[in-house]
Protein backbone atom coordinates (compact mmCIF):
# COMPACT_ATOMS: atom_id res chain seq x y z
CA UNK A 1 0.00 0.00 0.00
CA UNK A 2 1.37 3.43 -0.92
CA UNK A 3 -0.15 6.60 0.54
CA UNK A 4 0.72 10.27 0.85
CA UNK A 5 0.28 10.48 4.63
CA UNK A 6 0.08 7.74 7.26
CA UNK A 7 -1.30 8.90 10.62
CA UNK A 8 -0.65 6.74 13.68
CA UNK A 9 -3.41 7.27 16.26
CA UNK A 10 -7.10 8.02 15.68
CA UNK A 11 -7.54 10.02 18.87
CA UNK A 12 -9.20 13.45 18.65
CA UNK A 13 -6.13 15.19 17.20
CA UNK A 14 -5.26 12.47 14.65
CA UNK A 15 -8.90 12.43 13.49
CA UNK A 16 -9.06 16.23 13.22
CA UNK A 17 -5.84 16.23 11.19
CA UNK A 18 -7.16 13.61 8.75
CA UNK A 19 -10.47 15.55 8.42
CA UNK A 20 -8.40 18.51 7.19
CA UNK A 21 -7.79 16.63 3.91
CA UNK A 22 -11.47 16.40 2.94
CA UNK A 23 -12.11 17.41 -0.69
CA UNK A 24 -8.46 16.95 -1.71
CA UNK A 25 -6.65 14.24 -3.69
CA UNK A 26 -4.28 13.55 -0.79
CA UNK A 27 -4.36 9.85 0.05
CA UNK A 28 -4.41 9.50 3.85
CA UNK A 29 -4.48 6.39 5.99
CA UNK A 30 -5.12 6.52 9.75
CA UNK A 31 -4.16 3.61 11.99
CA UNK A 32 -5.39 2.87 15.51
CA UNK A 33 -4.97 -0.07 17.84
CA UNK A 34 -8.58 0.23 19.04
CA UNK A 35 -11.42 -1.83 17.53
CA UNK A 36 -13.80 -0.14 15.08
CA UNK A 37 -16.75 -0.25 17.53
CA UNK A 38 -14.75 1.69 20.15
CA UNK A 39 -13.59 4.31 17.65
CA UNK A 40 -17.16 4.75 16.37
CA UNK A 41 -18.74 4.90 19.84
CA UNK A 42 -16.01 5.74 22.40
CA UNK A 43 -16.98 5.18 26.02
CA UNK A 44 -17.19 8.02 28.55
CA UNK A 45 -13.79 8.87 30.03
CA UNK A 46 -14.83 11.57 32.51
CA UNK A 47 -13.18 14.39 30.55
CA UNK A 48 -15.30 17.41 29.77
CA UNK A 49 -13.10 19.38 27.42
CA UNK A 50 -13.01 23.17 27.73
CA UNK A 51 -12.72 24.53 24.20
CA UNK A 52 -11.64 28.01 23.16
CA UNK A 53 -13.42 29.99 20.43
CA UNK A 54 -10.47 29.28 18.15
CA UNK A 55 -10.94 25.52 18.62
CA UNK A 56 -14.67 25.83 17.93
CA UNK A 57 -13.76 27.61 14.68
CA UNK A 58 -11.37 24.80 13.69
CA UNK A 59 -14.07 22.19 14.39
CA UNK A 60 -16.52 24.24 12.30
CA UNK A 61 -14.02 24.50 9.45
CA UNK A 62 -13.49 20.73 9.27
CA UNK A 63 -17.25 20.14 9.39
CA UNK A 64 -17.49 18.56 12.84
CA UNK A 65 -19.13 21.25 15.01
CA UNK A 66 -22.54 20.85 13.35
CA UNK A 67 -22.52 17.12 14.17
CA UNK A 68 -22.41 17.89 17.90
CA UNK A 69 -25.87 18.32 19.39
CA UNK A 70 -26.46 21.72 21.03
CA UNK A 71 -27.74 19.85 24.10
CA UNK A 72 -24.20 18.54 24.69
CA UNK A 73 -22.47 21.93 24.45
CA UNK A 74 -22.27 24.02 27.65
CA UNK A 75 -21.09 27.60 27.78
CA UNK A 76 -18.58 29.07 30.26
CA UNK A 77 -19.50 32.71 30.84
CA UNK A 78 -17.03 33.53 33.59
CA UNK A 79 -13.99 31.94 35.27
CA UNK A 80 -12.95 32.56 38.86
CA UNK A 81 -9.53 31.59 40.17
CA UNK A 82 -9.17 31.56 43.94
CA UNK A 83 -6.22 31.18 46.27
CA UNK A 84 -7.67 28.47 48.53
CA UNK A 85 -10.70 29.81 50.36
CA UNK A 86 -9.39 33.37 50.31
CA UNK A 87 -12.12 35.83 49.38
CA UNK A 88 -9.80 37.47 46.83
CA UNK A 89 -10.19 36.05 43.34
CA UNK A 90 -8.92 36.47 39.81
CA UNK A 91 -11.90 37.02 37.55
CA UNK A 92 -12.22 36.46 33.79
CA UNK A 93 -15.50 37.48 32.20
CA UNK A 94 -16.81 36.94 28.67
CA UNK A 95 -17.39 40.70 28.42
CA UNK A 96 -13.59 41.09 28.62
CA UNK A 97 -13.30 39.43 25.20
CA UNK A 98 -16.56 40.84 23.79
CA UNK A 99 -18.09 37.39 23.28
CA UNK A 100 -21.21 35.75 24.70
CA UNK A 101 -19.06 33.17 26.52
CA UNK A 102 -15.41 32.52 27.39
CA UNK A 103 -15.52 29.06 25.82
CA UNK A 104 -17.43 25.79 25.60
CA UNK A 105 -17.49 22.45 27.38
CA UNK A 106 -18.01 19.21 25.45
CA UNK A 107 -17.42 15.63 26.62
CA UNK A 108 -14.31 14.07 25.14
CA UNK A 109 -16.15 10.92 24.02
CA UNK A 110 -18.62 13.06 22.03
CA UNK A 111 -15.78 15.01 20.37
CA UNK A 112 -14.15 11.71 19.36
CA UNK A 113 -17.42 10.15 18.20
CA UNK A 114 -18.32 13.09 15.96
CA UNK A 115 -14.81 13.45 14.52
CA UNK A 116 -14.95 9.77 13.57
CA UNK A 117 -18.44 10.19 12.08
CA UNK A 118 -17.15 13.06 9.92
CA UNK A 119 -14.05 11.13 8.85
CA UNK A 120 -16.11 8.16 7.67
CA UNK A 121 -17.61 10.46 5.03
CA UNK A 122 -14.24 11.45 3.54
CA UNK A 123 -13.45 9.16 0.61
CA UNK A 124 -9.68 9.80 0.35
CA UNK A 125 -9.07 8.80 4.00
CA UNK A 126 -8.89 5.12 4.99
CA UNK A 127 -9.14 3.98 8.62
CA UNK A 128 -7.31 0.83 9.68
CA UNK A 129 -8.32 -0.27 13.17
CA UNK A 130 -7.19 -3.05 15.53
CA UNK A 131 -3.63 -2.55 14.32
CA UNK A 132 -0.45 -1.16 15.89
CA UNK A 133 2.49 0.42 14.20
CA UNK A 134 5.50 -1.84 14.88
CA UNK A 135 8.34 -0.08 13.11
CA UNK A 136 9.09 2.94 10.94
CA UNK A 137 12.06 3.21 8.61
CA UNK A 138 12.63 6.44 6.72
CA UNK A 139 14.93 7.40 3.87
CA UNK A 140 15.21 10.44 1.64
CA UNK A 141 12.40 9.18 -0.68
CA UNK A 142 9.75 7.66 1.60
CA UNK A 143 8.88 6.18 4.99
CA UNK A 144 8.11 2.49 5.36
CA UNK A 145 5.76 1.37 8.16
CA UNK A 146 5.32 -2.20 9.38
CA UNK A 147 2.01 -2.98 11.04
CA UNK A 148 1.07 -5.64 13.58
CA UNK A 149 -1.20 -7.35 11.00
CA UNK A 150 1.89 -8.21 8.93
CA UNK A 151 1.40 -5.56 6.24
CA UNK A 152 3.83 -2.85 5.23
CA UNK A 153 2.99 0.52 3.72
CA UNK A 154 4.96 3.32 2.10
CA UNK A 155 4.15 6.97 2.82
CA UNK A 156 5.65 10.33 1.90
CA UNK A 157 5.06 11.43 5.47
CA UNK A 158 4.24 9.72 8.79
CA UNK A 159 2.34 11.76 11.37
CA UNK A 160 2.33 10.45 14.94
CA UNK A 161 -0.80 11.26 16.96
CA UNK A 162 -0.57 8.34 19.37
CA UNK A 163 -0.78 10.26 22.65
CA UNK A 164 1.64 11.50 25.30
CA UNK A 165 3.31 8.09 25.79
CA UNK A 166 3.80 7.81 22.00
CA UNK A 167 5.58 4.62 20.96
CA UNK A 168 6.25 6.00 17.49
CA UNK A 169 8.05 9.00 19.02
CA UNK A 170 10.32 6.52 20.86
CA UNK A 171 10.83 4.47 17.67
CA UNK A 172 12.24 7.60 16.01
CA UNK A 173 14.35 8.29 19.14
CA UNK A 174 12.89 11.76 19.73
CA UNK A 175 13.74 12.86 23.27
CA UNK A 176 11.32 14.78 25.53
CA UNK A 177 11.30 17.13 28.49
CA UNK A 178 8.99 15.37 30.89
CA UNK A 179 7.75 16.12 34.36
CA UNK A 180 6.04 13.78 36.78
CA UNK A 181 3.96 15.87 39.19
CA UNK A 182 3.47 12.72 41.30
CA UNK A 183 -0.21 13.58 41.47
CA UNK A 184 -3.36 12.25 39.87
CA UNK A 185 -6.27 14.09 38.36
CA UNK A 186 -9.63 12.76 39.45
CA UNK A 187 -12.60 13.71 37.27
CA UNK A 188 -16.31 13.06 37.62
CA UNK A 189 -19.73 14.62 37.09
CA UNK A 190 -21.87 15.92 39.95
CA UNK A 191 -25.40 17.25 40.30
CA UNK A 192 -25.87 20.11 42.77
CA UNK A 193 -28.67 21.98 44.49
CA UNK A 194 -27.62 25.56 43.71
CA UNK A 195 -26.86 26.97 40.27
CA UNK A 196 -23.33 27.69 39.05
CA UNK A 197 -24.51 30.52 36.77
CA UNK A 198 -22.19 29.16 34.05
CA UNK A 199 -19.15 30.16 36.11
CA UNK A 200 -16.06 27.93 36.15
CA UNK A 201 -14.21 27.83 39.48
CA UNK A 202 -10.56 26.95 39.99
CA UNK A 203 -9.42 26.77 43.60
CA UNK A 204 -5.71 26.39 44.32
CA UNK A 205 -5.09 24.86 47.73
CA UNK A 206 -1.55 23.98 48.78
CA UNK A 207 -1.50 20.23 48.15
CA UNK A 208 -4.44 20.02 45.77
CA UNK A 209 -6.31 22.02 43.16
CA UNK A 210 -10.01 21.67 42.57
CA UNK A 211 -12.15 22.92 39.72
CA UNK A 212 -15.81 23.00 38.92
CA UNK A 213 -16.71 23.30 35.23
CA UNK A 214 -20.33 24.32 34.60
CA UNK A 215 -22.47 21.91 32.56
CA UNK A 216 -26.20 22.08 31.80
CA UNK A 217 -29.01 21.48 34.35
CA UNK A 218 -27.17 22.24 37.59
CA UNK A 219 -24.53 19.65 36.77
CA UNK A 220 -20.77 20.19 36.77
CA UNK A 221 -17.58 18.45 35.86
CA UNK A 222 -15.42 18.20 38.97
CA UNK A 223 -11.65 18.11 38.49
CA UNK A 224 -9.35 17.43 41.45
CA UNK A 225 -5.55 17.27 41.31
CA UNK A 226 -4.42 15.39 44.41
CA UNK A 227 -1.49 13.28 45.63
CA UNK A 228 -1.69 9.71 44.29
CA UNK A 229 -2.66 8.09 47.61
CA UNK A 230 -5.55 10.54 48.11
CA UNK A 231 -6.73 9.93 44.53
CA UNK A 232 -6.78 6.20 45.23
CA UNK A 233 -8.86 6.72 48.39
CA UNK A 234 -11.26 9.12 46.68
CA UNK A 235 -11.77 6.64 43.83
CA UNK A 236 -12.84 3.94 46.27
CA UNK A 237 -14.61 5.85 49.01
CA UNK A 238 -18.36 5.22 49.33
CA UNK A 239 -20.49 7.52 47.15
CA UNK A 240 -22.22 9.17 50.15
CA UNK A 241 -18.89 10.01 51.77
CA UNK A 242 -17.51 11.28 48.48
CA UNK A 243 -20.55 13.56 48.01
CA UNK A 244 -20.11 15.01 51.49
CA UNK A 245 -16.39 15.55 50.94
CA UNK A 246 -16.96 17.44 47.67
CA UNK A 247 -19.68 19.54 49.30
CA UNK A 248 -17.19 20.52 52.02
CA UNK A 249 -14.37 21.05 49.50
CA UNK A 250 -16.48 23.64 47.72
CA UNK A 251 -17.42 25.22 51.04
CA UNK A 252 -21.14 24.39 50.53
CA UNK A 253 -21.29 27.01 47.76
CA UNK A 254 -23.40 24.68 45.57
CA UNK A 255 -25.49 23.07 48.32
CA UNK A 256 -26.00 19.31 48.29
CA UNK A 257 -23.78 17.58 45.73
CA UNK A 258 -24.38 14.11 44.22
CA UNK A 259 -22.02 12.01 42.12
CA UNK A 260 -23.36 11.00 38.69
CA UNK A 261 -21.75 7.96 37.09
CA UNK A 262 -18.13 6.91 37.49
CA UNK A 263 -15.00 8.56 38.85
CA UNK A 264 -11.88 8.52 36.60
CA UNK A 265 -8.24 9.06 37.52
CA UNK A 266 -5.28 10.15 35.34
CA UNK A 267 -1.57 10.36 36.26
CA UNK A 268 -0.16 13.89 35.91
CA UNK A 269 2.90 13.43 33.72
CA UNK A 270 3.55 16.18 31.20
CA UNK A 271 5.83 15.91 28.15
CA UNK A 272 7.29 18.29 25.59
CA UNK A 273 9.09 16.71 22.62
CA UNK A 274 12.51 18.30 22.05
CA UNK A 275 11.75 18.28 18.32
CA UNK A 276 8.45 17.89 16.54
CA UNK A 277 9.82 16.56 13.26
CA UNK A 278 12.54 14.37 11.86
CA UNK A 279 13.07 12.79 8.44
CA UNK A 280 9.56 12.33 6.88
CA UNK A 281 8.02 12.29 10.34
CA UNK A 282 6.01 14.79 12.42
CA UNK A 283 4.47 14.72 15.89
CA UNK A 284 1.06 16.26 16.65
CA UNK A 285 -1.32 16.37 19.64
CA UNK A 286 -0.25 14.94 22.98
CA UNK A 287 2.54 13.02 21.21
CA UNK A 288 4.17 16.43 20.61
CA UNK A 289 3.07 18.26 23.78
CA UNK A 290 1.23 16.58 26.66
CA UNK A 291 0.02 19.47 28.80
CA UNK A 292 -1.04 19.52 32.46
CA UNK A 293 -4.87 19.70 32.17
CA UNK A 294 -5.21 22.33 34.92
CA UNK A 295 -5.22 25.17 32.36
CA UNK A 296 -7.37 23.09 29.92
CA UNK A 297 -5.16 23.63 26.88
CA UNK A 298 -4.09 20.14 25.72
CA UNK A 299 -6.69 19.52 23.03
CA UNK A 300 -6.90 23.22 22.14
CA UNK A 301 -3.17 23.20 21.47
CA UNK A 302 -3.42 19.89 19.60
CA UNK A 303 -6.09 21.35 17.32
CA UNK A 304 -4.00 24.44 16.64
CA UNK A 305 -0.88 22.35 15.93
CA UNK A 306 -2.58 19.98 13.51
CA UNK A 307 -4.06 22.97 11.67
CA UNK A 308 -0.56 24.45 11.24
CA UNK A 309 0.73 21.16 9.82
CA UNK A 310 -2.25 20.74 7.45
CA UNK A 311 -1.62 24.26 6.10
CA UNK A 312 2.10 23.55 5.51
CA UNK A 313 1.31 20.28 3.71
CA UNK A 314 -1.35 21.90 1.51
CA UNK A 315 1.07 24.73 0.70
CA UNK A 316 3.60 22.11 -0.51
CA UNK A 317 1.04 20.13 -2.50
CA UNK A 318 -0.23 23.25 -4.30
CA UNK A 319 3.34 23.95 -5.45
CA UNK A 320 4.14 20.34 -6.32
CA UNK A 321 6.71 20.15 -3.54
CA UNK A 322 7.41 16.83 -1.77
CA UNK A 323 5.44 17.00 1.55
CA UNK A 324 8.14 15.12 3.46
CA UNK A 325 10.91 17.63 2.70
CA UNK A 326 12.71 19.03 5.78
CA UNK A 327 11.86 22.64 4.84
CA UNK A 328 8.09 21.91 4.98
CA UNK A 329 8.35 20.10 8.30
CA UNK A 330 10.70 22.68 9.82
CA UNK A 331 8.17 25.43 9.10
CA UNK A 332 5.61 23.45 11.09
CA UNK A 333 8.11 22.80 13.88
CA UNK A 334 9.06 26.46 14.23
CA UNK A 335 5.45 27.72 14.30
CA UNK A 336 4.42 24.97 16.73
CA UNK A 337 7.27 25.75 19.17
CA UNK A 338 6.22 29.43 19.16
CA UNK A 339 2.64 28.49 20.13
CA UNK A 340 3.37 25.56 22.45
CA UNK A 341 6.48 26.51 24.45
CA UNK A 342 4.98 29.55 26.27
CA UNK A 343 1.80 27.62 27.12
CA UNK A 344 3.57 24.48 28.29
CA UNK A 345 6.25 26.08 30.44
CA UNK A 346 3.92 28.73 31.92
CA UNK A 347 1.34 26.06 32.84
CA UNK A 348 3.98 23.88 34.53
CA UNK A 349 5.34 26.90 36.43
CA UNK A 350 1.82 27.89 37.57
CA UNK A 351 1.15 24.36 38.81
CA UNK A 352 4.50 24.25 40.63
CA UNK A 353 4.00 27.64 42.23
CA UNK A 354 0.39 27.03 43.22
CA UNK A 355 1.08 23.68 44.88
CA UNK A 356 4.23 24.66 46.79
CA UNK A 357 3.79 25.19 50.51
CA UNK A 358 6.87 27.34 51.22
CA UNK A 359 6.25 30.85 52.58
CA UNK A 360 7.79 32.71 49.56
CA UNK A 361 5.64 30.64 47.17
CA UNK A 362 2.50 31.54 49.14
CA UNK A 363 3.37 35.23 48.96
CA UNK A 364 4.26 35.13 45.25
CA UNK A 365 0.98 33.44 44.30
CA UNK A 366 -1.08 36.00 46.20
CA UNK A 367 0.89 38.76 44.49
CA UNK A 368 0.49 37.10 41.05
CA UNK A 369 -3.30 36.86 41.34
CA UNK A 370 -3.56 40.54 42.21
CA UNK A 371 -1.10 41.55 39.52
CA UNK A 372 -3.03 39.66 36.82
CA UNK A 373 -6.34 41.14 37.95
CA UNK A 374 -5.15 44.71 38.19
CA UNK A 375 -2.68 45.13 35.33
CA UNK A 376 -4.72 45.03 32.12
CA UNK A 377 -1.94 43.91 29.69
CA UNK A 378 -1.15 40.91 31.95
CA UNK A 379 -4.82 39.91 32.06
CA UNK A 380 -5.07 40.32 28.30
CA UNK A 381 -2.27 37.80 27.78
CA UNK A 382 -4.43 35.17 29.55
CA UNK A 383 -7.63 36.25 27.78
CA UNK A 384 -5.94 36.23 24.37
CA UNK A 385 -5.57 32.42 24.67
CA UNK A 386 -9.36 32.07 25.00
CA UNK A 387 -10.26 34.06 21.91
C1 LIG B 1 -8.50 14.76 32.99
C2 LIG B 1 -8.19 15.49 31.72
C3 LIG B 1 -8.89 16.65 31.41
C4 LIG B 1 -8.58 17.36 30.22
N5 LIG B 1 -9.26 18.52 29.97
C6 LIG B 1 -8.94 19.23 28.86
C7 LIG B 1 -9.61 20.47 28.57
O8 LIG B 1 -10.49 20.91 29.31
N9 LIG B 1 -9.26 21.15 27.44
C10 LIG B 1 -8.29 20.70 26.60
O11 LIG B 1 -8.00 21.36 25.59
N12 LIG B 1 -7.65 19.53 26.84
C13 LIG B 1 -7.95 18.79 27.94
N14 LIG B 1 -7.31 17.61 28.19
C15 LIG B 1 -6.29 17.12 27.23
C16 LIG B 1 -6.90 16.32 26.07
O17 LIG B 1 -7.73 15.29 26.56
C18 LIG B 1 -5.76 15.74 25.23
O19 LIG B 1 -4.91 16.79 24.86
C20 LIG B 1 -6.26 15.05 23.95
O21 LIG B 1 -7.03 13.93 24.27
C22 LIG B 1 -5.07 14.59 23.11
O23 LIG B 1 -5.54 13.95 21.97
P24 LIG B 1 -4.56 13.06 21.07
O25 LIG B 1 -5.38 12.63 19.89
O26 LIG B 1 -3.29 13.77 20.83
O27 LIG B 1 -4.15 11.80 21.98
P28 LIG B 1 -5.04 10.65 22.63
O29 LIG B 1 -6.37 11.17 23.03
O30 LIG B 1 -4.18 10.06 23.68
O31 LIG B 1 -5.27 9.57 21.45
C32 LIG B 1 -4.21 8.74 21.01
C33 LIG B 1 -4.77 7.67 20.08
O34 LIG B 1 -3.68 6.89 19.58
C35 LIG B 1 -3.99 5.50 19.67
N36 LIG B 1 -2.70 4.78 19.80
C37 LIG B 1 -1.84 4.83 20.83
N38 LIG B 1 -0.76 4.09 20.59
C39 LIG B 1 -0.94 3.55 19.35
C40 LIG B 1 -0.16 2.68 18.54
N41 LIG B 1 1.04 2.22 18.95
N42 LIG B 1 -0.64 2.30 17.33
C43 LIG B 1 -1.85 2.76 16.91
N44 LIG B 1 -2.63 3.59 17.64
C45 LIG B 1 -2.17 3.97 18.84
C46 LIG B 1 -4.89 5.38 20.87
O47 LIG B 1 -5.71 4.22 20.80
C48 LIG B 1 -5.72 6.69 20.77
O49 LIG B 1 -6.88 6.50 19.99
C50 LIG B 1 -7.58 16.88 29.35
C51 LIG B 1 -6.88 15.71 29.67
C52 LIG B 1 -7.18 15.02 30.84
C53 LIG B 1 -6.41 13.77 31.16
Residue ending a domain, among 250, 269, 288, is: 269
Q: Is residue 78 a contact partner of residue 94, using CB atoms and an 8 Å limit?
A: yes
Q: How many angstroms is it from 14 CA to the middle of ligand 1?
A: 9
- Lowest-confidence range among 79-83, 254-258, 323-327, 362-366? 362-366
- From the list 127, 107, 130, the residue with the least C-alpha distance to 116 is 127
What's the CATH number where 292 sits?
3.50.50.60
User: 198 and 264: one domain?
Assistant: yes
Report pLDDT for 379: 58
User: 244 and 330: one domain?
Assistant: no
Average pLDDT over residues 206-224: 91
Average pLDDT over residues 135-146: 96
Q: How many angstroms is it from 45 CA to the middle of ligand 1?
A: 11
Query: 49 pairs with which residues across the strands?
Result: 106
Report pLDDT for 98: 86
Report pLDDT for 383: 60
User: 157 and 253: one domain?
Assistant: no
User: 171 and 213: one domain?
Assistant: no
Q: What share of the chain is helix, strand, coil (3-state, %, to 5)?
A: 40, 30, 30
User: 274 and 262: one domain?
Assistant: no
Mean of per-residue pLDDT scores for the chain: 91
| pLDDT for 69 beyond 90 | yes
Q: How many angstroms is it from 236 CA to the middle of ligand 1?
A: 25
In a domain, 326, yes or no: yes
In a domain, 234, yes or no: yes
The residue whose CA has the least distance to atom 39 of ligand 1 is: 162
| pLDDT for 320 beyond 80 | yes
| pLDDT for 53 beyond 80 | yes
Q: What percent of the chain lies above the pLDDT cut of 70?
A: 89
| pLDDT for 382 beyond 80 | no
| pLDDT for 297 beyond 70 | yes
Question: Which residue segment(s) compose the domain that 214 sits in?
Answer: 181-269
Q: How many angstroms is it from 255 CA to the middle of ligand 1?
A: 33
User: 225 and 288: one domain?
Assistant: no
Q: pLDDT digits over 348-365, tens only?
A: 887 776 666 666 656 665
Average pLDDT over residues 18-30: 97
| pLDDT for 118 beyond 60 | yes
Q: How many angstroms is it from 130 CA to the middle of ligand 1?
A: 17
In a domain, 97, yes or no: no
H helices of the chain, in order, are: 12-19, 36-40, 53-61, 108-119, 167-171, 228-236, 239-249, 298-318, 326-355, 359-374, 376-386
| pLDDT for 311 beyond 80 | yes
What's the CATH number where 221 sits?
3.30.9.10
State whether residue 231 is helix, strand or coil.
Answer: helix
Q: Which atom of ligand 1 is nearest to the CA of 185?
A: 1
Q: pLDDT digits over 238-268, tens only?
A: 999 999 999 999 999 999 999 999 999 999 9
Q: How many separate domains does the chain show?
A: 2
Q: Is residue 243 a contact partner of residue 257, using CB atoms and an 8 Å limit?
A: yes
Q: pLDDT digits over 158-182, tens only?
A: 999 999 999 999 999 999 999 999 9
Report pLDDT for 215: 97
Q: Which atom of ligand 1 is nearest to the CA of 300?
A: 11
How does strand 199-204 pair with strand 78-83?
Answer: parallel
User: 361 and 283: one domain?
Assistant: yes
Q: pLDDT digits over 278-287, tens only?
A: 999 999 999 9
The residue whose CA has the least distance to atom 52 of ligand 1 is: 293
- Lowest-confidence range among 106-115, 199-208, 216-225, 250-259? 199-208
Average pLDDT over residues 105-111: 98
Q: How many angstroms is it from 11 CA to the middle of ligand 1?
A: 6
User: 335 and 355: one domain?
Assistant: yes
Report pLDDT for 91: 83
Q: How many angstroms is it from 144 CA to the middle of ligand 1?
A: 25
Report pLDDT for 37: 97
Q: How many angstroms is it from 127 CA to the middle of ligand 1?
A: 18
Q: Which residues contact 339 (CB under 8 A, 6 or more apart)?
A: 301, 304, 305, 308
User: 116 and 15: one domain?
Assistant: yes
User: 252 and 377: one domain?
Assistant: no
Give ligand 1 pocket residues (Cβ under 6 A). 8-14, 31-34, 47, 49-50, 108, 132-133, 161-163, 167, 185, 187, 266, 285-286, 293, 296-300, 302
The residue whose CA has the least distance to atom 44 of ligand 1 is: 32
Report pLDDT for 380: 62
| pLDDT for 386 beyond 60 | no
The residue whose CB lies within 8 Å of the most ligand 1 atoms, and thus the one to mutate among 44, 103, 108, 131, is 108
Report pLDDT for 81: 86
Report pLDDT for 384: 62
User: 276 and 300: one domain?
Assistant: yes
| 342-348 contacts at long range (C-beta below 8 A, 24 or more positions apart) | 343/289, 343/291, 343/295, 343/297, 343/301, 343/385, 344/270, 344/272, 344/289, 344/291, 345/272, 347/270, 347/291, 347/292, 347/294, 347/295, 347/297, 348/179, 348/270, 348/292
Residue ending a domain, among 269, 302, 331, is: 269
| pLDDT for 187 beyond 90 | yes
Q: Which atom of ligand 1 is nearest to the CA of 108?
A: 17
Average pLDDT over residues 32-52: 97
Q: Which atom of ligand 1 is nearest to the CA of 46?
A: 1
Amino acid sequence: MTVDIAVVGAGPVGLAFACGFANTNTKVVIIDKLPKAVLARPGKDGRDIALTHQSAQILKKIGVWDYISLRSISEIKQAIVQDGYSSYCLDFNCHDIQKKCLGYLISNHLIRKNLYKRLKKISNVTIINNVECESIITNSHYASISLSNGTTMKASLVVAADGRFSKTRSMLAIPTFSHDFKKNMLVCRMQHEKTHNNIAYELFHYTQTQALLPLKNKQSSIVLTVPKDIALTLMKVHKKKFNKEMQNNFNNRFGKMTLIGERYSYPMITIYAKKFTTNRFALIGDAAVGMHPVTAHGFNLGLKGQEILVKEIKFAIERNIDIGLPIILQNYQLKMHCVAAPLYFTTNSIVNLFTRTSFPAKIIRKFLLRLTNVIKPVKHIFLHVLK
